[in-house]
Each structure stands twice: as structure tokens, then as C-alpha cells.
């Protein structure tokens, strides 16, 4: 029994059986730094998105600059796409390490391997579900945002542990500067350059030390860089206008939709077609001065303002449009509130996580925060929130509540 198991184990390759010059400490370190940078961008921009939707008093976001969320979330999804080639490259460069024996040498080694396992599993999960989400393939049976948020802490924590453990190898790998000749790794096992090569002789004289090996490493790193930059260029056009003509892989065309503007949630999808087209619709405005009902004509008779603002979707696309309507601060005043009172917004939607939102005081006070009635000089299309929707600067699209039914000045309903 024991000898059968040993025979099977003997057939499993060892790290030194993987002879590609790519399994090299210097390659692993460089791809690791690129991938790590992408993870830091993802974590920070992801937290920004989370804090917009789950505000904390000690780090409030304001309406200025108006373009900020568009940039941070555009960057988030762009870095997310860039992770696909980077993750594949990193896994390819290090996979011989999977075959290290003994599998575990002690509790420290065991912990280190477990943290790497967690890192790989969590990152693969995050990248796969993130990409599916932005292509609107909601095939997973869980609430994306909550699971994605929780996993992001696991990914970030595991990256910190991994970098801490591997720091000496990373420093060694990067210390070579542009020199990728000679051997830095045997069979995926990190060997300090000029240090002792364990079991089996000098590596620099083998295929890993040749000029050909250096060319292979350079070629691999070049291919990873080109693939990453190309993927970024082909997708970034969904939020960055200059790249729109080459946005061949972008999940969304931000101009494809009614009135030349994309829509994530349609009126039909939100189940509001009947209520939103009801000629008897009137906004219920509640505040310290009492409650009033304002029809669309009443709202159009109030002071109208225009604001050129982006609609910036959590899924990474964005587009600028000219919105027209009533300033929310004017409505707050009409309800007997102050122009910087927070306002709670309720939609005609009966269900859905985004049927309500809160406008903090700083947003209400901003001159460009509107209860929009018009888009680019026309009445709002039904899918853009007719009869009335919120539009404010520097705010995730999911908080720009559509088909507004009720505004409560002073906070919660
Ligand atoms: C791999 C590391 C990643 C980390 C650490 C990360 C982190 C985060 C965080 C913290 C949020 C905020 C969640 C919330 O609002 O509670 C977020 C949102 C989001 N992420 Fe990522 N993310 C990663 C990868 C990706 C990838 C690969 C994509 C897709 C290309 C992606 C797409 C999104 C989207 C669409 C949202 C908005 C979700 C929503 O509010 O509905 N993320 N991310």
C-alpha cells in the first residue's frame, strides 16, 4: 500500500522538472509587482465605490469634483480587465511550485502554502465573477456586491501576507535590473543569484542560463505587457472618450440607448412602466413645512436649471449628458427645509436594492444636483427615469434614483 503510494508520488513531477526559462524568480517578481499594483488600485477604487454607497461620517465624499467617481470606477473595471492576463501570467510563472516536496515541512510552511492557496482561490473568484458582472452575465446565485466586497478583504489581506513572506525573493528578483540572463530560479524554486544551487549542480550552464533563456524571459514579459495594455486600450473606451473608436472589447457602448445614452435598468425591468406613465403621477415632497404634491407641469413651472454631468455606472462605463430640471435645494426650501438638509429619495420601484437613496447635505446644497425632468433638451425617456430622476455630480449611477415618487427633506422617511 505504502509502496504503491510512493510509486504514484514518484510519477508526480518535481519543480526542477519544469525547464521553461519563464519559471524564474526575476520573471515572477516583475509580473508580481504589476499584478500587485493592479490589486492595490482595485482595492482602493473598490473601497471608494463602497463608501459612496455605504457612507461613514469620518470619510464623507462630496459632489466635487464631478468626474471623480467616473474616474475611480472606470479605473477599477479597467484594472479588473488588466488582471486577466496578469493573473494568468503569474500563475503560469509559479505553477511548478505546486509540486514542491515535501508538501509541507512545518507549521510555518503549511501556513504560507495555505495563504497562497487562499490568495489564488480568492483572486481567481474575484476576477471571474467581476468580469461576468460587467458583461451583465449574472449567472452566480448570490448578491454580487456583498460577496465581492467581502472577498476583496480576503484578496488584499492575502496579498499583504504573501508579499511579506516573499519580500526577500521579490527584492532579489528585482535587483537584477534589466538583466534577465543567467539563472535565478531552478524548477520554480527561488535561488539567490550567485547563491547556492541546491541538489544537482550549476544551473547557469544549462538552458536556463543561455542567451536563449534571456530572450524567452524578455519575450514573455513583453507579451504580458502588450496583452495587458492592449486589453486595457480595447475596453477603456467605455468610459474614456478618446479610446471609444477602438473599444472593441468594451462590455458597453455608453452612447447606445434611448436619447444616445446607455441604460442599465429599464422601466420594464424595474416594473414601473404603468406607474411612471400614469398621467396622474405627482411628486410627493415631504419636509418640516408639511407635504405637497407636485405634478410634472408644476415642476416644470418652477425655476429650471441645466447641468452637464456624467452618468457613471458601477459597472465601469460612463457618459456625459446635459440634464435639465429643478434644483433639489430649491425643492428642500419649498418643503420648509434648509438648502443643505439631507434628502431621502424614493422611487416608484416596489422592489430592488436601488429603489431608495440618500442625498447628503453637501450634495443637496450643490447647484448641479437636480431632480431632472429633461435630457439633452428633450423630456426624459422612460428608461432614463421619466417622469423625474435624480442627477448629481460625483455619484455612482445606482444612486441616481430613477422614476422618483417621493422626496423626504431632512432625511429618512
Ligand atoms: C481582484 C481584486 C478586486 C478587488 C480587491 C475588488 C474590490 C472591490 C470593492 C471593495 C468593491 C466595492 C464593493 C461594494 O460596493 O461594497 C468593488 C466593486 C466592484 N468591482 Fe471589484 N474588485 C476586484 C476585482 C474586480 C474585477 C476583476 C472586476 C471586473 C472586471 C470588478 C468589478 C467591480 C464592479 C462592477 C464593482 C461594482 C459593484 C456594484 O456596486 O454593484 N472588480 N470591487
Distance 150 CA to ligand 1 centre (A): 10
- Domain borders along the chain are 2-246, 260-409
- Measure CA 314 to chain center: 8
**Ligand 1 touching residue 210 (CB < 6 A):** no
**Ligand 1 touching residue 160 (CB < 6 A):** no
Distance 57 CA to ligand 1 centre (A): 22
3-state secondary structure of 1: coil
**Ligand 1 touching residue 45 (CB < 6 A):** no
Give 188's pLDDT tier (boundaries 50, 70, 90): very low
Which positions ≥6 away from 73 have C-beta within 8 Å?
Answer: 45, 48, 49, 239, 312, 313, 314, 316, 318, 396
Query: What is the C-alpha to C-alpha distance for residues 162 and 104, in angstroms, rounded to an integer?
Result: 17
Give pLDDT, residue 201: 33
**Ligand 1 touching residue 119 (CB < 6 A):** no
Query: What is the C-alpha to C-alpha distance for residues 334 and 409, in angstroms, rounded to an integer?
Result: 10
pLDDT one-digit tens code per residue, 277-289: 999 999 999 999 9
**Stronger pLDDT, 171 or 208, i.e. the higher one:** 171
Query: What is the C-alpha to C-alpha distance for residues 79 and 226, in angstroms, rounded to an integer?
Result: 15
Distance 356 CA to ligand 1 centre (A): 22
Say which residue the cell 429599464 belongs to.
Answer: 266
On the question of pLDDT at 129 being above 80, the answer is yes
CA angle 270, 275, 277 (to 5 degrees): 105
Give 140's pLDDT tier (boundaries 50, 70, 90): confident
Query: What is the C-alpha to C-alpha distance for residues 178 and 180, in angstroms, rounded to an integer?
Result: 6
DSSP letters for 95-132: GGGGG-SSS--SHHHHHHHHHHHHHHHHHHHHHHHHHH
Handedness of CA 209, 212, 216, 218 (dihedral sign): positive
On the question of pLDDT at 411 being above 90, the answer is no
Total length of the chain: 413
**Ligand 1 touching residue 53 (CB < 6 A):** yes
Give pLDDT, residue 354: 92
289-310 mean pLDDT = 97
With respect to CATH, is domain 260-409 assigned 3.30.110.30?
no
Distance 400 CA to ligand 1 centre (A): 19
183-189 mean pLDDT = 46
3-state secondary structure of 309: strand
Ligand 1 atom closest to residue 155's alpha carbon, by position in its atom list: 5
Query: What is the C-alpha to C-alpha distance for residues 223 and 217, in angstroms, rounded to an integer?
Result: 10
Beta strand 318-327 with 370-375 is antiparallel
On the question of pLDDT at 182 being above 80, the answer is no
Mutation choice for ligand 1 from 46, 134, 231, CB with most ligand atoms inside 8 A = 46
**Ligand 1 touching residue 50 (CB < 6 A):** yes
- The pTM score is 0.90
**Ligand 1 touching residue 39 (CB < 6 A):** yes
**Ligand 1 touching residue 399 (CB < 6 A):** no
Mutation choice for ligand 1 from 44, 69, 74, 80, CB with most ligand atoms inside 8 A = 80
**Stronger pLDDT, 377 or 4, i.e. the higher one:** 377
Lowest mean pLDDT among 118-127, 175-184, 266-275: 175-184
pLDDT one-digit tens code per residue, 195-227: 333 333 333 334 556 778 888 999 999 999 999
Give 6's pLDDT tier (boundaries 50, 70, 90): confident
Handedness of CA 13, 15, 16, 18 (dihedral sign): positive
Quick one: which of 388, 399, 401, 372 has its CA closest to 281? 388
Handedness of CA 192, 195, 201, 203 (dihedral sign): positive
Locate 232 and state its grid cell.
Answer: 486595457
On the question of pLDDT at 348 being above 90, the answer is yes
Ligand 1 atom closest to residue 84's alpha carbon, by position in its atom list: 27
Query: What is the C-alpha to C-alpha distance for residues 236 and 74, in angstroms, rounded to an integer?
Result: 8
pLDDT one-digit tens code per residue, 364-398: 999 999 999 999 999 999 999 999 999 999 999 99
Give pLDDT, residue 189: 42
On the question of pLDDT at 181 being above 90, the answer is no
In the chain, the N- to C-terminal Cα span, in Å, equals: 71
On the question of pLDDT at 187 being above 60, the answer is no
DSSP letters for 141-196: SS-HHHHHHHHHHHHHHHHHHHHHHHHHHHHHHHHTTT---S-SEETTEE--TTSP
**Ligand 1 touching residue 281 (CB < 6 A):** no
Phi, psi of 344 (to 5 degrees): -95, 130
Distance 395 CA to ligand 1 centre (A): 16
Locate 77 and state its grid cell.
Answer: 473595471
Lowest mean pLDDT among 42-46, 131-135, 389-393, 400-404: 131-135
On the question of pLDDT at 57 being above 60, the answer is yes
On the question of pLDDT at 183 being above 90, the answer is no
Mutation choice for ligand 1 from 42, 146, 354, CB with most ligand atoms inside 8 A = 42
Locate 18 and state its grid cell.
Answer: 519544469
Amino acid at each position: 500500500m505504502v509502496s504503491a503510494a510512493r510509486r504514484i508520488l514518484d510519477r508526480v513531477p518535481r519543480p526542477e522538472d519544469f525547464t521553461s526559462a519563464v519559471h524564474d524568480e526575476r520573471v515572477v517578481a516583475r509580473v508580481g509587482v504589476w499584478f500587485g499594483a493592479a490589486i492595490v488600485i482595485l482595492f482602493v477604487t473598490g473601497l471608494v465605490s463602497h463608501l459612496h454607497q455605504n457612507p461613514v461620517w469620518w470619510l464623507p465624499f462630496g459632489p466635487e469634483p464631478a468626474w471623480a467617481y467616473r474616474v475611480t470606477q472606470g479605473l477599477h473595471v479597467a484594472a479588473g480587465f488588466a488582471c486577466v492576463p496578469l493573473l494568468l501570467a503569474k500563475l503560469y510563472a509559479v505553477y511548478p511550485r505546486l509540486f514542491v516536496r515535501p508538501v509541507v515541512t512545518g507549521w510555518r510552511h503549511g501556513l504560507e502554502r495555505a495563504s497562497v492557496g487562499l490568495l489564488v482561490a480568492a483572486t481567481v473568484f474575484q476576477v471571474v465573477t467581476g468580469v461576468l458582472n460587467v458583461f451583465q452575465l449574472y449567472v452566480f446565485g448570490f448578491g454580487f456586491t456583498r460577496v465581492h466586497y467581502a472577498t476583496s478583504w480576503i484578496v488584499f489581506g492575502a496579498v499583504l501576507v504573501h508579499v511579506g513572506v516573499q519580500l526577500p525573493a521579490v527584492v532579489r528578483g528585482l535587483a537584477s535590473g534589466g538583466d534577465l540572463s543567467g539563472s535565478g530560479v531552478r524548477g520554480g524554486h527561488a535561488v539567490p543569484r550567485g547563491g547556492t544551487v541546491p541538489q544537482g549542480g550549476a544551473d547557469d550552464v544549462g538552458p536556463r542560463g543561455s542567451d536563449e533563456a534571456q530572450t524567452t524571459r524578455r519575450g514573455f514579459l513583453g507579451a504580458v505587457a502588450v496583452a495587458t495594455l492592449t486589453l486595457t486600450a480595447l475596453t477603456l473606451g467605455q468610459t474614456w472618450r478618446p479610446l471609444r473608436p477602438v473599444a472593441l472589447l468594451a462590455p458597453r457602448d455608453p452612447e447606445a440607448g434611448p436619447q444616445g445614452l446607455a441604460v442599465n435598468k429599464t422601466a420594464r425591468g424595474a416594473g414601473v412602466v404603468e406607474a411612471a406613465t400614469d398621467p396622474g403621477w405627482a411628486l410627493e415632497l415631504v419636509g418640516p413645512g408639511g407635504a405637497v404634491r407636485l405634478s410634472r407641469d408644476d415642476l416644470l413651472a418652477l425655476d429650471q436649471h441645466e447641468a452637464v454631468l456624467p452618468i457613471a455606472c458601477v459597472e465601469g462605463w460612463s457618459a456625459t449628458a446635459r440634464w435639465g430640471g429643478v434644483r433639489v435645494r430649491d425643492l428642500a426650501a419649498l418643503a420648509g427645509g434648509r438648502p443643505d438638509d439631507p434628502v431621502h429619495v424614493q422611487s416608484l420601484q416596489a422592489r430592488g436594492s436601488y429603489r431608495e437613496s440618500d442625498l447628503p447635505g453637501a450634495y443637496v446644497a450643490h447647484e448641479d444636483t437636480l431632480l431632472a425632468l429633461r435630457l439633452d433638451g428633450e423630456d426624459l425617456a422612460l428608461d432614463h427615469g421619466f417622469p423625474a430622476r435624480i442627477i448629481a455630480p460625483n455619484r455612482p449611477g445606482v444612486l441616481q434614483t430613477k422614476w422618483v415618487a417621493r422626496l423626504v427633506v431632512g432625511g429618512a422617511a
